[in-house]
Each structure stands twice: as C-alpha cells, then as structure tokens.
Structure 1
Amino acid sequence: MIGILACGAYVPRLRLQRATVAAAHAWFAPALKAHDKGERAMANWDEDAITLAVEAARDAAPEASREAIGALVLASTSLPFADRQNAGIVKESLNLRDQVFTQDVGGSQKAGTGALVQALRASNGEHTLCIASERAVSKPGSEAELINGDAAAAFVIGEGEPIARCIGTHSLSVDFVDHFRGRDAAFDYGWEARWVRDEGYVGIVGNALTQALAKFGLAGEDVHRLIVPIPVRGVAEALSKQAGIPATAIGDSLGASLGHAGCAQPLVLLAHALEHAQPGERIVVLGFGQGADVLIFETTPAIATRVREHGRGVSGWLARGKPESNYLKYLFFTGGVDLDTGMRAEFDQKQPLTALYRNRSAVLGLVGGHDPESGAVQYPPSGIAVGAQAARISKFEPYPLAERTARVLTFTADRLAFTPDPPGCYGMVEFDGGGRMVTEFTDADADQIEVGRPMRMTFRIKSVDARRGFVKYFWKAMPA
C-alpha cells in the first residue's frame, strides 16, 4: 500500500506582528489595516528555504529511518541557488547515502503538491522524502508582506503500513497567470484579485475538485477534511459548497498564526491535519498554480499511534514562537533595507569549494570521528587521536553528531564582532556520548544561555559571500 509513512514540519521561531507592519505603512497604505490581525512566521537572518527544509526533514525522518530513503525531492519557489542543486545540500545535511536520487522542483505555487504527486507515483520499493519549503520575500508595503509566512513540511512516501493511504490524485494544467516573477525580478507581480478569485480559485480549482471526487467515486459528504491553501477570504467556503463538502470539513488555514507559506502551504496544512486526524478520515488537499492538483488520502489505524512518534510537527513548532515587533529588523533580514554594517563586516567570505567537497560530511552533515581504541569522540574528525595521552594515529569511525543533545560548557555574548543580529552568542558545547565543539548559538536570547543548558543542533546559514552570491552553511546550537 502506497501512502504517507511519516510527516513533519518546521516553522521559524520569530513571529512578525502584523499590526506593527500595518502601522509603519499607515501614512502611505492605510488599506493594509485590513490585514493587521495576528502574526506571521518570520525566518531568522540565518534561515532560508534550504535550512527550513532540513529541519522539516529531520522532523519527519529520524536518523535511524534514513537508510530506507532512495529519493529526495525539494519543492520551493525561493531556493537560494539557481544552478547548484539545493536538494543535494539537504541530502548532505541529513547524511543520506550518495546513491539517493535528488531533485529540485519549482516554477509554480503548485510545486509542493506536484512534488507530492510525483513521489506517490514514483514509489519503487524505496522511500521518497518529499519536502516543500518557502521563504518568500515580499515587496515592502504590499499585502503579501503581511499575508505570507515562512515554513516547510516533509513527508516520507512509500510502500508499507502508511498513516494515510493515497486514494488517488487528479491534476489540471492551465497557463493561468495570477502572478509572476521574471528571472531578474526581486518580487512577484500580481494581477487583479477578483478575476483571480472567480476564474482561478473558484473556476479552475473548483472544476478540479469536482472532477477528482467523481473520478474516485466520492460524494462531498464523504470528505472529512478539506485543505484549501488559498489566503483569500470566502474561497474555501465557495469551493466546499460547489463540491457539496460540508463547511465543517474545511481545515484551519493557520493564517492568523503562520501565514501563507507559498508552495509549501498545502503540505504544511496536510501535516497539521494529520496531527489531529483519526483513523478512517478522508482528507482532500488542493494545490493551485498554473492549474490545480487534488490529492485524496484516507487515514489508517496506524495514525493513532505513529503520527507523533517523534518530532514536534506543526503544532509543536508553532508553540515555540517568539513575537517580533521590530519591523526594521524584518526588513534588514529580508534585504528590504541596506544598513551600514560597519568596517567589521568588510571581510572576504570566499568559500574554497575544493575544501567544502572534501569535508562535506563534517561541514554539512556534522559528522565527527570515534576512536575505537579509546572510545573518544573528536570534532572535527581527524586521523590523529588527541587528549591526555600522547598524540597517535588511529582509524577513526564516522560519528554523526547532529541528532545528539549538546550541553553548554562555555558561552559569551559579543557585541564587537559583526553579526546581523547582535549580540553574537557562541561558545563550547559537549555532546551526550562525547565530543566537543565551538559553535554559534541561534534562536536564543543572551539571557537564556547558561552553563549546562541542553541545546539542539540546527542547520543554518553560516555566512553569505555577497560578492559571488554563495551561501555557506554550518550547524549552530539552539535551546532544546
């Protein structure tokens, strides 16, 4: 039986308060007050579509289950690299074997559901890790700036005993341009909202939905949960009425607490629905963008015990949110304003690509070394054992550290060295089971860090080579 074997998600810690944004633009765009309720997920300066994807994948697929993964598909319209495979970076961070097939999917808001359809159709005995991630940048003063949100979701797809089996999928491909972004454009250009709603959402998506139900012999009342990832009021209700689906089946859009995460939104909402679903529920997921996708699932008895075996899920990540009312910080993090960062920020960030390739498991996968003779763990890995005894040559074994809890040994908060979010907090951590490293701390206020505090390693942006357009990634520590 092919279906969803596991699911996970990730939502950044910061929550931009919409009222703050609307107030900042009230002098010029008072109509934005219509969207000033609630908050939206806001990525930190060291997060992008790749780092969000890594965290969602870790949430869905614990380390012990990754050997079965044979393919990794990453969907996004905001990936940092145009000609370096972004999915390959995610693969390295998860320490997947080199024989894994990797693919980037983009070009449409339908990319997330499209990737999921592909994964469901391509199962060949191996599991597919399907991820959708979005960190879209919106033009300051636009509605999208308040409506959008940053998030990612991941699903392990394959044969076995799924938590939700796939009843079927149905797709329409139509070159309906509701918005677009040219190759060299920084922001999307949107078309007239009423036309998009009536012709696109209600027309194209509505037709796809009714066709899908008929195709698989389902009536509207057979649907228990309807996921509509469209951030326009009234559309979900219109679609449910058109298909004869009870209004009570419409799922939470998470608009007030997360926002709209672009092509990742359908998968985020599906992951959220599975956290609360009971066995035997039929879930219909819609995707929109140059056509429409409809995916129909039915939950199995396994969902009662397995959906929350590990990870935090959408609900867990939402619960850790921290309100952010500094609109200028948001603009700086997204490139909306160029601040004077001072002379300390003026240093070359060139990445030696040969060294990155040779050390990719240590840098991107956080793999240390284990000395089989003494039992000592070292990071970075080395062929020379060091410690209280004299240095000696040893055959170290690979020792992944990313999923191990670390504890703070030393720390400092530095306001002299440049960091986009001062103060820069860093220090030494020690891993459960052995091994120490000096690392930066992220998603932690300076007064939250103390010796002995448990920390969780997280994959983040280390620095950006703005001159050459290269992003460097590494692992940082955040409060567990």
Structure 2
Amino acid sequence: MVGIAAWGAYAPRLRLSRKAVVVANAWIAPGLAGKAKGERSMANWDEDALTMAVEAARDALGVEDEGRAAIEGAIFASTTAPFADRQNAGILAAALTLEPTIASADVTGSQRCGLTALGQALDAAASGRRVLVAVGEHRRARAASPQELDFGDAAAAFVVSPDGAAAEFLGRGTVTDDFVDHFRGADAAFDYAWEERWIRDEGIVKLVPPAIRAALDAAGVDAAQVDHFCFPSTFAGMGATLAKTLGIRPDAVRDTLAAQLGEAGAAHGPLLLAHALEEAQPGQIVLVAQFGQGAEALVFRAGGEIGSSRPARGVAGALADRQEETNYLKFLVFNDLVEWDRGMRAEKDNKTALTTLYRNRDQILGLVGGRCRETGVVQFPRTRISVAPNNPAVDTQEPYRFAERAAQVLTYSADYLTFSMSPPNHYGMIVFEGGGRIMLDITDVTPGEVETGLPVKMVFRIKDRDEKRGFVRYFWKAAPDRAAMAAVTAQAAE
C-alpha cells in the first residue's frame, strides 16, 4: 500500500500584521487597504527555505534514530532554495543525519514543484524505497506590493513508503503547459506577475480541472466522494470555484490558511495536504492540487493508522505557536529590502573554510558530538581524547546526536555591543539531558525572555551569510521549548 507513512510541517513563529503593513504604506499604496485583514508568516532573519524544510522534516521523522536509518532517498523542493549550484537536499540530509548512501535530488522551477516532488517519491516508493520529501519556501516581494501581503513562509515534509499506513496513494494527474502567470529570471530578486483575471480565467480554470479529473480517474474515485479538497491560491474562493466545476462538495473545500499564514508558494499545497491529514478520519478521501505551468493533482485515502501517525507539532502546532509582529521595518530589514547601517562591528569577512566544513560536517550540520565507549561521557565537539574526568581515553569516541535531546539554559548573555540582525544578541551555555554542554546562540526570543533553567530545543538555522561570495553557513541554535514550558506550568497548576 504505497503512500504517506508520516508527515510534518513548520511555519515561523513570527506573524506579520497585514494592518501594520497597510498603514505604513498608505501614503504610497492606498489601494492595499483591502488586504489589511489577518497576518502572514514571517521568517526570522536566520531562517530560509532550507532551514524551514529541515524543521518540517524533523517533525515528520520524530526523534528515533531507527526512522532516519530507514530513509533511502531525500528530495528537497523549492523555488527559493539558498543555493543554485550546491545540492540543497545534501544539506538537508546532513542536518537530519541521514545515511550517506541515500539518493537525493532538488526539484524546482514551478509553484507545483512540491507536489511534483511528492509524486516522484511515490513512484520511488512503488519500487520499494522509503523516501523523505521536504518542501520549503521563503518568497521575497517588493515593498508596498500586493505580493508582500499575500505571500507567507512555511514548509512541509512527508515520509513516503511502500507501506504508507497513514494515507494510501490512489492516483495522480498532471498537466504541463507553459502558461506564464509569473516568472523570475535567473538574476532577478522578485517575481514579475501578469494580470489576475488572465491567470484565473485562462490559466487556473482551464488547466487545473483536467489534472484533477485525471487523478480522480486514476484513483477510481468520483468527485463527490472527495472529503478534503486542498487548493492553494491567492485568489479568494478559487478552490470553491474549481469544486463547483468538478462536482466536489462545497463542504470538502479546505481553508487555504491565507488569513493566518499567507500563501507559501510551492510549499503551500503540501502544507494544506499535511493539515488535511491531521484532521482526516480513516477512509476519507483527500485531494490536493496546485497550479504552476500546468497543474499537479494527487489523491489519497486516509488509513486506519492515521490517528497514531499525526506529528507532534504539525500544522496545528505551527498555527498555535505564533507571535504577532507589528514592526514593518523589522520585516523589511530581515528580507534585505532596506539598506541600513550595520556599524563597524559587522565589517568582517564571513568566508567559510570549505575544507574545515567538510571535515567536520556531521558536527556542524548534524550537531553530532561524541560519547566515550568506556565511560559513557558525552561531549561536543568530538575529539580524539575524551573529556571524561580521570580517564582521558584516546580514540574511544562514537557519534552522539545532540539535536533531538532536551536541554536548558545554564548561563546566558543578552549582548547589545556585538553585531546582531535582531539585537540584543542572545547566546549562552546550553546543558543537555544525558550530559554534554555547548555554547550556542539563542533565537526566537524577546528581551527579558531568557533566564537560567529555561527549557530549550535545538533548531537548524543560518549562522552567517557570506554576502561577498554568496555562501550561507548553517549551524544549530537554541530556541525556547514552549511545549515543555507549558507542560511544566500545567503540572505546577495541578
């Protein structure tokens, strides 16, 4: 039964108020007033399409090593990948500590590339392979543009297997047509979009239904049998229009989450699919489709184990974990839309020594330290000589993963003197359950929030950008574990 065995999702904690954007731009773009409702997800300065995809994949894989060891392929899909000529899926695999023998690929070039990647993974699963698909999107838009309000940042991930007990794959339909609704050249920073009515009437309405009909025919499912219909679009009511054309029940049309997150490009179809799976009951039919130089459609049936397969966080958790952001200037700075004075402390060369990165890749990208086979003492970084007291054994270190370990803040600083994209610069000594300590940056916090004993979790983030050479350096940071904090508060209340 080929299908989805597990899934996960991620959206940044920051949610930019659309009203704040509209008010700030009212003097130059009063026509944006109609888009002032709700909020959109906003990536922190140290997040991009890849870091969000890693977090969604961690949500799908869970904390057990066995699940990762079983992965035989990894696909990363995005139209906003950080590297054009460095395999982003390879960074994803390293961050997740997947086996080096896996097959890997990047998929890009269209807003439907997330569903295309999922379809390719399902084909691989039919031949017996277990594949991870991660889709992330961080789309930039010009200031004071409608896209700035419509877009959002998010990611979704799926584990596809020959025995996908969570959701059985039933059928796929594809239409390929070079209908250009928008485009972005190789040297361009922003999309160039065409007229909305043309996109809607000549593009979506004519190209999406054939793909959906082909998928339903392949699945042997009548349109009226669909229980969850997922179709992302910045055009309000587009899903309902397609449903009426196709004979899908109106109550099956899923909320696009536009009011809470915006539209996350290639990641949004997969994100809506993940949300539908979280709420689907065994036996229900889930249809997801997305438009982009044609259309892609996939049909699934929720399995009997879908309830036990739901991720720890998922879309529901991502929606709940939010912090309102009304500072529009912060959004502009985080997205390099304004040139600001970073000061002399930012004047440094961020060149990465690629030799050092490669030799220490599991420690840097995977946060893998060492554990002494003789004493059980764990440490980071891993060294030839153990730090075990009174037993400095040599060459006894075995790999030890820290990324999924519970941790807390031992000591910290909130530094306004060093350069930071989001001052103050929080960092501190983090101690891990089971032993080991690492000095790490602390992210996703506000001044006054960090304190000794604060429960934290590890998150994969951007460490530095080498703007001179176009290289992004990644590492792990600590972020407040708000689920653990809530559990402690609830226990104290009892």
TM-score range (shorter-chain normalised) is over 0.9
Specify which of 292, 296, 303 is matched with residue 295 of structure 2: 292
C-alpha separation between the residues in 2 aligned to 1:216 and 1:388?
63
Counterpart for residue 104 of structure 1: 106
The answer to whether structure 1 residue 67 and structure 2 residue 69 are counterparts is yes
How far apart are residue 391 of structure 1 and its match?
Answer: 4.2
Counterpart for residue 485 of structure 2: none
**What's the CA shift string for 1:281-327, capped at 9, x where partnerless?**
0011001101011100000111122224xx20011011110000111
C-alpha separation between the residues in 1 aligned to 2:444 and 2:294?
38
How far apart are residue 209 of structure 1 and its match?
Answer: 2.1
SS in 2 for 1:459: strand
SS in 2 for 1:201: helix
**What's the CA shift string for 1:173-217, capped at 9, x where partnerless?**
001000000111110000111010011111111232234334443
* Pair 372,392 (structure 1): closer, same or farther in 2 beyond 3 Å: closer
How far apart are residue 69 of structure 1 and its match?
Answer: 0.4
Q: Is this contact kept in 1: 2:172–2:219, CA < 8 A?
A: no
Counterpart for residue 328 of structure 1: 329
Q: Is this contact kept in 2: 1:68–1:126, CA < 8 A?
A: no
Counterpart for residue 205 of structure 2: 202
C-alpha separation between the residues in 1 aligned to 2:180 and 2:248?
28
The answer to whether structure 1 residue 229 and structure 2 residue 232 are counterparts is yes
How far apart are residue 406 of structure 1 and its match?
Answer: 1.0
SS in 1 for 2:104: strand
Counterpart for residue 85 of structure 1: 87
How far apart are residue 387 of structure 1 and its match?
Answer: 5.0
Counterpart for residue 10 of structure 1: 10
TM-score using structure 1 length: 0.98
Specify which of 167, 177, 180 is matched with residue 177 of structure 1: 180
C-alpha separation between the residues in 1 aligned to 2:391 and 2:233?
64
1:81-480 to structure 2, matched below 5 A, reads 81-123=83-125, 124-308=127-311, 311-389=312-390, 391-480=392-481
C-alpha separation between the residues in 2 aligned to 1:73 and 1:388?
43
**What's the CA shift string for 1:356-411, capped at 9, x where partnerless?**
00000001000011012222111000011225437442411110100001111100
Counterpart for residue 49 of structure 1: 49
Q: Is this contact kept in 1: 2:142–2:190, CA < 8 A?
A: yes
Q: Amino acid of the residue matched to residue 213 of structure 1? A: L
Q: Is this contact kept in 1: 2:14–2:325, CA < 8 A?
A: yes
Q: Is this contact kept in 1: 2:5–2:161, CA < 8 A?
A: yes
C-alpha separation between the residues in 2 aligned to 1:238 and 1:156?
31
Root-mean-square deviation (Å):
1.1
Q: Amino acid of the residue matched to residue 345 of structure 1? A: A
Q: Amino acid of the residue matched to residue 106 of structure 1? A: T
C-alpha separation between the residues in 2 aligned to 1:425 and 1:215?
53
Counterpart for residue 32 of structure 2: 32
C-alpha separation between the residues in 2 aligned to 1:168 and 1:354?
46
C-alpha separation between the residues in 1 aligned to 2:371 and 2:389?
16
Counterpart for residue 486 of structure 2: none
**What's the CA shift string for 1:78-106, capped at 9, x where partnerless?**
00111011110010000111001111000
TM-score using structure 2 length: 0.95
Q: Which runs of 5+ in 2 are unaligned?
A: 482-494
Q: Is this contact kept in 1: 2:2–2:169, CA < 8 A?
A: yes
**What's the CA shift string for 1:32-86, capped at 9, x where partnerless?**
1111100000000000011001000000012421111000000000001110111
Indicate the larger mover: 378-387 or 470-479: 378-387
Q: Is this contact kept in 1: 2:174–2:214, CA < 8 A?
A: no
Q: Amino acid of the residue matched to residue 191 of structure 2? A: D
Q: Is this contact kept in 1: 2:165–2:304, CA < 8 A?
A: no
C-alpha separation between the residues in 2 aligned to 1:93 and 1:214?
39
C-alpha separation between the residues in 2 aligned to 1:407 and 1:422?
21
Q: Is this contact kept in 2: 1:161–1:302, CA < 8 A?
A: no
Give the % identical residues: 50
Indicate the larger mover: 128-137 or 386-395: 386-395
C-alpha separation between the residues in 2 aligned to 1:114 and 1:28?
39
Q: Is this contact kept in 2: 1:222–1:282, CA < 8 A?
A: yes
Q: Amino acid of the residue matched to residue 4 of structure 1? A: I
Counterpart for residue 490 of structure 2: none
Q: Amino acid of the residue matched to residue 341 of structure 2? A: D
C-alpha separation between the residues in 1 aligned to 2:28 and 2:233?
27
